[in-house]
Amino acid sequence: MRSTKDKILTGLLTPASWLYGTVAGVRNWMFEQKILKSVEYDVPVIGVGNLTVGGTGKTPHVEYIVSHLAVGYKVAVLSRGYKRKTKGFVLANAKSTPSSIGDEPYQIYQKFNGRVIVAACESRRKGIEELLKLFPDLDVIVLDDSFQHRWVKPKISILLTDYSRPFYKDKLLPLGRLRESPRQVNRADMVIVTKCPENLQPISYRIASKDLDLMKFQKLFFSRYDYGELKPVFVDDAPYDVSLYEFTEKDAVMLLTGIAHPRYFVRYFRQYPFKVKVDHYPDHHDFSKRDIQDIEKKFRKLAGEHKIIVTTEKDAVRLMHNPYFPKELKPFTFYLPVNVRMVKGVDDHDLIEEIKNQIQK
């Protein structure tokens, strides 16, 4: 049963949620009536986004899409560059940092090592126009976290929803995590149910398909995460390779996270026999000197015959540029790579093939 405190909080937040929904609804209506106008470009634009505030796996899915398209297309990724300390259009280069372009664009740039053009800009229109000036031979532009940025009309709109908390079971901000009404799913060309469990049964795919109630033109896909081997955050300071399988119940791992929903990351480590301590910070957290000092203290107090710090890919790119991170901890700090794997759902569609077919139309 819900507590009295929860009921009071719901009562207080419900009017604000209604107001938020009204404002968002009016804005979408204005775009639909062409009072506010979306711009469509000659170059195919793929928008990847969600209806909720973070946590659906946008960046790993952008990387998955880009990794396949970059084989035969000249691809650019455009992001807002959330929490960067710069303004306007910024093109990623060898001197870029998470502060200059944002942690997620920096992660993408580093991962593809120059094979993909990456840029950040608050205005998606300006960002696309700048990219086309600099690279007129671009074949496709991928927009990261773009579903609410309706000033640009993408050729392909991809909407992500978390398997464990689908948007149709959520509520509008601030009562829930929705940025828009669940009805706006109709704007998507493709929907991906992300972070599916490894042992998902066929009946679960059918239930999800029925609950989403998509229109005939919309394609539905399912994906899950695959985790790789640990990699050092500070390559020059890593004296040895580490395998989690070598750790026993006498050892300990400190999980350091600054992502929206770390439960999948934490759950992965619970399968091992070693002790796990979680130190969680807000999404996109910029670790201060005091934060780093607290992390160091907690790590030193952690009991274990062998012990390491493990963080996420997104946190790793911020930590490697953090001036306060102590040299003594660098050899013991690793990150866990994550990859997206598409899984067979109700219909046997192939996401990349569907995207390529749409691009070529």
Tell whether the model's pLDDT for residue 277 goes beyond 80: yes
CB atoms within 10 A of CB 292: 17
CB atoms within 10 A of CB 295: 23
| pLDDT for res 317 | 95
Query: pLDDT band at residue 2, thresholds of 50, 70 and 90?
Result: low
Q: Which residue has the higher pLDDT, 326 or 361?
A: 326
| pLDDT for res 1 | 52
| pLDDT for res 346 | 62
Range 189-194 average pLDDT: 96
| pLDDT for res 347 | 66
Tell whether the model's pLDDT for residue 306 goes beyond 70: yes
Range 66-76 average pLDDT: 96
Mean pLDDT, rounded, of the chain:
93
Tell whether the model's pLDDT for residue 361 goes beyond 90: no
Residue 293 dihedral angles phi and psi, to the nearest 5°: -65, -40
Query: pLDDT band at residue 152, thresholds of 50, 70 and 90?
Result: very high
User: What is the distance between the alpha carbons of residues 193 and 66, in angstroms, rounded to a whole number?
Assistant: 18
Three-class secondary structure of residue 62 per DSSP:
helix
Q: What is the pLDDT of residues 342-358, one digit of tens each?
A: 998 766 679 999 999 99
Range 132-144 average pLDDT: 97
Q: What is the pLDDT of residues 15-68, one digit of tens each?
A: 999 999 999 999 999 999 999 999 999 999 999 999 999 889 999 999 999 999
| pLDDT for res 348 | 67
Contact 65, 355 (CB under 8 A): yes
CB atoms within 10 A of CB 34: 8
Query: pLDDT band at residue 174, thresholds of 50, 70 and 90?
Result: very high
Tell whether the model's pLDDT for residue 116 goes beyond 90: yes
| pLDDT for res 239 | 72
Q: What is the pLDDT of residues 234-276, one digit of tens each?
A: 988 877 788 899 999 999 999 999 998 898 999 999 999 999 9
Contacts of 139 by beta carbon, 8 Å cutoff, 6+ apart? 43, 44, 73, 74, 75, 359
User: What is the distance between the alpha carbons of residues 165 and 255, in angstroms, rounded to a whole number?
Assistant: 23
Q: Which residue has the higher pLDDT, 179 or 8?
A: 179
Share of the chain above pLDDT 70, in %: 98
| pLDDT for res 87 | 96
| pLDDT for res 100 | 97
Share of the chain above pLDDT 90, in %: 84
Whole-prediction pTM:
0.94
Measuring CA to CA, how many Å separate 68 from each of 61, 75, 356? Answer: 11, 10, 10
